[in-house]
A and B are shown apart, each in its own frame.
Chain A
Amino acid sequence: MSAPADVITLPSPPSRAARRRAIRLGDIPIVPAAILIIIALVAIFADQLAPHDPEVGKLTARFKPPFWQSGGSTQYLLGTDQLGRDVLSRLIFGARVSMVVGIMAVIVAGVIGTALGILSGYLRGWVDQVIMRITDTWLALPALTFAIFLAAIVGPSMWNIVIILGVTYWTRYARVIRGEVLSLREREFVQLAVVAGCSKWTIMARHILPNVINSATVLGSLMLGVVIITEATLSFLGVGVPPPQPAWGLMLSDGKQGLMVGYWWLTVFPGCCIMLMVLSANLLGDWLRVKLDPQLRQL
């Protein structure tokens, strides 16, 4: 008769599975970080890396498949689109758009959200009430709808999109930062500063702010994935980064035309790029969240 599960003999060393888990948790998740770094490098060195001009195509070379299929050539490694533009080059330059828009939007949202969160949490009173009600209303609208609405009003351009995304997503920061500030302001070092006669603004800037940067960073890494998907969605719908500048979402929109005829490379490659980048951002963000601030595990 085998012994039931809760009777063991001690001591037993940690199992292989446990050790494997420990290694993965202990170190930086190498693969996601590497992917993001590679994408960043690709974005920076796009001019050197891309074999062709991403915005101008040869009409004689339209809809060429990737080089391993018949009809393809090594001149256009991943094929061409409906205007004869090289897919690989467009993907490379598209990385630039995604990276820039993604990071800048996260920063803009972070700055607005953190600032308002600090103001709301520290000053309390009517300031808090007003900001919180606005935040709640903003949050009630799905980000995508709101972003589309704004994009329809102001018209597409890369910087407009950055601002729109920033304005759409700051609410995620504001709530969390406010919560942190609420507990921070009861801590001794803040009360000491109050007693010492520091002005409200000094306290907020010199004492509160450095302590919430941690959470803001974690939030930023978690938001990066969301922001990139939204940007891609906006581009897909035609209200994102305007052509002829290459954006992955835009490439997907163009690729739709060729889909029914089987030109799969116009859809699969840009999508894979988006997926890789978002997946890596999400994994990194999750890891950061667990490592940097156990309080944020509820996010």
Chain B
Amino acid sequence: MAREPLLRLENLSTHYVSAQGTRVVRAVDEVSLSLNAGETLGIVGESGSGKSTLALTMLRVLPPAAHIVGGRILFEGEDLVAKSDGEMREIRGKRIAMILQDPMASLNPLFTIGNQVAEPIQIHEKTLRSAAWTRARELLKAVRIPSPETRVRQYPHEMSGGMRQRIVGAIGISCQPRLLIADEPTTSLDLTIQAQYLNLLRELQRAHGLALIFITHNLGIVAKMCDQLAVMYAGRVVESGSVSRIFNAPAHPYTRALLGSIPHMGDPQQRLTAIAGQPPDLAALPRGCSFAPRCPQAVDRCRAEAPPAFSIDDGRIARCWLAREVNRTTLAGAV
């Protein structure tokens, strides 16, 4: 009795095409995910795994060279891929919001904080300027910015990094979206600030019933914040499911390697296991499983044929020929 998920990606693919049409980079390849309202999904992967492109794809804010070449994005039942520009603009910021990585670069240096926070409110909810600014002040308070009355008139460069990221967060929740996508929101913050910020996000989530998508390369954050997890490699989701199950018994060799490379306190094993090799060139993916060249358990079948996404147990998916053998049931093809 699963309720209808808030967001469902079905075989979504985004490719970058070079100007002459000669080079095709498969940044996002046949990605399928789902997320329920109020849940937190973590998307994990190395640089170049396609996670940021996936986020931009969901909001259809892609650079001119990138194109969605297939699949559907079902948000509250509607397919976002089929929507026009105008319809997407109604959704962006209002029903789905996004936080980018670098808060200094995300804020326009020539406009005040108040202006930038009030702006989406004015546009989406068609309120008066004064009402929007009042809301902006309340939002700054909600994200724990001290003395919001003075801050509202200040400029981005007058704030610290942590404060700027909170402001970006405030902008994100300003129109009460159902879904907030955070692309590496803590990467540019000091360690001491990171924990505070994550707590803030969790609070906001509980207060507003937000669904969160966390894009990160940091499994620690995933462990702390996320209910569900999707692991990406070379543009594909290689494993997905609940965080607790995956952390306990990772089904895909890549996930296993990632978890094995986290240093644990008090661990007798002193050496970190790194993953050998380099991530593949997304324009020239090998035949077969894209992780096979680096996989310690790869067999011939892995190199010859790319594994489909197998359903391992309730809600868990893994793209690995070997994972299948661990379990009793398989379902043909991707969900």
Residues of B within 8 A of A1 (CB): 82
Chain A window 1-16, contacts with chain B (Cβ cutoff 8 Å), 1 for yes, 0 for no: 1011111111111100
Q: Tell me the complex Cα distance, A7–B79, Å.
A: 13
Residues of A within 8 A of B88 (CB): 4
A36 to chain B, nearest CB (A): 30
A153 to chain B, nearest CB (A): 48
A40 to chain B, nearest CB (A): 36
CB closest residue in chain B, given A13: B21
B69 to chain A, nearest CB (A): 5
Q: Quick one: which of B64-83 are within 8 Å of A by CB?
A: 66-69, 81-83
Q: Quick one: which of A219-245 are within 8 Å of B by CB?
A: none
Q: Tell me the complex Cα distance, A190–B282, Å.
A: 38
Could you tell me if A10 and B24 are in contact, using CB atoms closer than 8 angstroms? yes
CB closest residue in chain A, given B66: A6
Q: Quick one: which of B271-320 are within 8 Å of A by CB?
A: none
Could you tell me if B24 and A11 are in contact, using CB atoms closer than 8 angstroms? yes
Q: Tell me the complex Cα distance, A13–B24, Å.
A: 12
Q: Tell me the complex Cα distance, A138–B19, Å.
A: 43
Q: Tell me the complex Cα distance, A7–B81, Å.
A: 8
A22 to chain B, nearest CB (A): 7
Judge if A23 is at the interface, Cβ distance under 8 Å. no
Q: Tell me the complex Cα distance, A22–B22, Å.
A: 13
Judge if B84 is at the interface, Cβ distance under 8 Å. yes
List the count of A-B residue pairs having beta carbons below 8 Å apart.
38
Could you tell me if B85 and A4 are in contact, using CB atoms closer than 8 angstroms? yes
Q: A9-B69, A10-B24, A10-B69 given as contacts; is B17 within 8 A of A4 (CB)?
A: no
Taking a contact as CB atoms closer than 8 A, the residue among B20, B21, B24, B68 that contacts A6 in the complex is B68
Main secondary structure on chain A at its contact with chain B?
loop
Q: Tell me the complex Cα distance, A9–B68, Å.
A: 9
Residues of A within 8 A of B24 (CB): 10-11
Taking a contact as CB atoms closer than 8 A, the residue among A8, A10, A14 that contacts B20 in the complex is A14
Residues of A within 8 A of B68 (CB): 6-7
Q: Tell me the complex Cα distance, A9–B83, Å.
A: 17
Could you tell me if A4 and B84 are in contact, using CB atoms closer than 8 angstroms? yes
Judge if B144 is at the interface, Cβ distance under 8 Å. no
Could you tell me if B69 and A8 are in contact, using CB atoms closer than 8 angstroms? yes
Could you tell me if B82 and A11 are in contact, using CB atoms closer than 8 angstroms? no
Q: Quick one: which of A4-36 are within 8 Å of B by CB?
A: 4-14, 18, 22
Residues of B within 8 A of A22 (CB): 20
Q: A1-B82, A4-B84, A6-B62 given as contacts; is B21 within 8 A of A11 (CB)?
A: yes
CB closest residue in chain A, given B69: A10
Q: Tell me the complex Cα distance, A3–B82, Å.
A: 6
Q: How large is the interface on B (under 10, 10 to 19, 20 to 34, 35 or more residues)?
A: 10 to 19
Residues of A within 8 A of B94 (CB): none
Residues of B within 8 A of A18 (CB): 19-21
Could you tell me if A4 and B82 are in contact, using CB atoms closer than 8 angstroms? yes
Q: Tell me the complex Cα distance, A10–B22, Å.
A: 11
Residues of B within 8 A of A7 (CB): 67-69, 81
Chain B window 41-76, contacts with chain A (Cβ cutoff 8 Å), 1 for yes, 0 for no: 000000000000000000010100011110000000
CB closest residue in chain A, given B20: A14
Judge if B164 is at the interface, Cβ distance under 8 Å. no
Could you tell me if A10 and B15 are in contact, using CB atoms closer than 8 angstroms? yes
Could you tell me if B69 and A14 are in contact, using CB atoms closer than 8 angstroms? no
Q: Tell me the complex Cα distance, A112–B60, Å.
A: 54
Q: Tell me the complex Cα distance, A77–B55, Å.
A: 70
CB closest residue in chain A, given B83: A4
CB closest residue in chain A, given B85: A4
A285 to chain B, nearest CB (A): 24
Residue from A3, A5, A10 whose CB has the most chain B CB atoms within 10 Å: A10
Could you tell me if B17 and A10 are in contact, using CB atoms closer than 8 angstroms? yes
B129 to chain A, nearest CB (A): 32
B50 to chain A, nearest CB (A): 16
Residues of B within 8 A of A8 (CB): 67, 69
Q: Tell me the complex Cα distance, A142–B21, Å.
A: 46
Residues of B within 8 A of A14 (CB): 19-21
Q: Quick one: which of B112-157 are within 8 Å of A by CB?
A: none
Q: Tell me the complex Cα distance, A6–B15, Å.
A: 10
CB closest residue in chain A, given B71: A7
Could you tell me if A12 and B85 are in contact, using CB atoms closer than 8 angstroms? no
B132 to chain A, nearest CB (A): 30
Q: Quick one: which of B1-51 are within 8 Å of A by CB?
A: 15, 17, 19-21, 24
CB closest residue in chain A, given B22: A14
Q: Tell me the complex Cα distance, A12–B84, Å.
A: 22
A121 to chain B, nearest CB (A): 33
CB closest residue in chain B, given A12: B21
A-B contact pairs, 19 of them (CB 8 A): A1-B82, A4-B60, A4-B81, A4-B84, A4-B85, A4-B88, A6-B62, A6-B66, A7-B81, A8-B67, A10-B15, A10-B17, A10-B24, A10-B67, A10-B69, A11-B21, A13-B21, A14-B19, A14-B21
Which residues of B pack against A, CB within 8 Å? Answer: 15, 17, 19-21, 24, 60, 62, 66-69, 81-85, 88
3 closest Cβ contacts across the A-B interface? A14-B21, A8-B67, A7-B68
For the A-B complex with A4-B85, A13-B21, A18-B21 known, give 7 more contacts whose Cβ atoms are closer than 8 Å. Answer: A4-B83, A5-B85, A9-B69, A10-B15, A10-B17, A10-B67, A18-B20
